Structure 1
Amino acid sequence: MVKIRLKRFGAAKRPCYRIVVMDSREPRDGRCIEEIGTYQPIEKEGNQVAIKEDRIKYWIGVGAQPTDIVAKLMNKKGLAKNGQSK
């Protein structure tokens, strides 16, 4: 199954995450199919999430399932779980 989930990068005590599409059997920091955004929890509220909306809509359209955290980030950016804008 293909999932849309977070992949950690960045320095110790300063996490950054990439929003990626990957096989659910891969480890968290393993090989991904495509990177479709970033999440930086330390930044100010408006600059935390950057998502390529067209790519996330495509992947959801072909059956990729977002994790709970990615679904919350999508809602924060105004994208519904089914890939349609609110």
Structure 2
Amino acid sequence: MVASLVIGIIFLVLGLALRYWINRRKFYRRSPMGVEGFSSYESSVLIKLIEKVGKWIAYALIIFGLLSLWVYSLEKKERQQPEVTTENL
């Protein structure tokens, strides 16, 4: 029960941090004119590819984290409800 809460928080934070880091790198790579600067064509293609893959990984981490938190909330609700048993008399 607590494991899904911890995993959810960790994956959510990792996904958000990865997105922040990628967007921050992209922002600081821009010149005052708004153009991204790369040292070569190859580095441009490689960096953009890595950033796209990184963003998809970040999205997956965020979704998995949210799903884990949702599972935790369902487990918590299920645990709070008292069991009702019916007995035949």
Q: TM-score range by the shorter chain?
A: under 0.3
Larger Rg: 2
TM-score scaled by length of structure 1: 0.24
Structure whose residues are more often helix by fraction: 2
Structure whose residues are more often strand by fraction: 1
Higher relative contact order (CA 8 A, sep 6+): 2
